[in-house]
A and B are shown apart, each in its own frame.
Chain A
Amino acid sequence: QKEVEQDPGPLSVPEGAIVSLNCTYSNSAFQYFMWYRQYSRKGPELLMYTYSSGNKEDGRFTAQVDKSSKYISLFIRDSQPSDSATYLCAMVMNRDDKIIFGKGTRLHILP
């Protein structure tokens, strides 16, 4: 079983829709969870950083962590064409530890 599983997509949704992106993981030692956005030919850009189970909101983005189910989600409200990118879920066991990434989901927001 892979450590972090993420559907690669592509996922196409109309502008203004709510987007739901998800990852599952197998190792309960993961404690910190991130979502990165990656545009073509660019590096991963940190969007959200969470520790505890529950929801964390930042503008149009909400990160959700369910440690009991080993499941994390990112919701994007009022999606915009500029949100079209690859979204990487990522996690670490300790704060200064190596990041384990999901494969990334390619998202297309259709105008």
Chain B
Amino acid sequence: EPEVTQTPSHQVTQMGQEVILRCVPISNHLYFYWYRQILGQKVEFLVSFYNNEISEKSEIFDDQFSVERPDGSNFTLKIRSTKLEDSAMYFCASAGDSNQPQHFGDGTRLSIL
């Protein structure tokens, strides 16, 4: 069964450094999402992306965050200057069309030191 894949599985970064989290959505999907889950808390929406532009973003998704679909297969989340509070699991999700539910990858655990 097709799946969303994310790399790396664990990223350790010094505070203030830039980090890029990578996702390969399911191949024929058109809608892309990033969510995060701080330890012990709910999964929270960050941003949705469709037709090469951001559809919606949450208040968490400030100027330090950006997303990109640099080619036909990858979808990336960049955090420009990481903070301690960015430590979380980051999940990528994709959906085939507006009639389909979102499918999630296994996440990248981001640890900021």
Expressed in whole angstroms, the Cα–Cα distance for A10 and B93 within the complex equals 27
Task: Place the interface of chain B in its size category.
Answer: 20 to 34
B98 surroundings in chain A (CB, below 8 A): 94-96
Q: Tell me if A98 and B48 are in contact (CB < 8 A).
A: yes
CA distance A97 to B55 in the complex (A): 9
Interchain CA distance A43-B56 in the complex, whole Å: 22
Q: A106 → chain B, closest Cβ, in Å?
A: 11
Binding site for A on B (CB under 8 A): 4, 6, 31, 33, 35, 41-45, 48, 50, 55-56, 58, 91, 93, 95, 97-107, 109
Chain A interface mostly: loop
Of all chain A residues, the one with the shortest Cβ separation from B48 is A98
Chain A interface residues (CB < 8 Å from chain B): 32, 34, 36, 41-46, 49, 88, 94-104
Most buried by B among A41, A43, A95, A100: A43
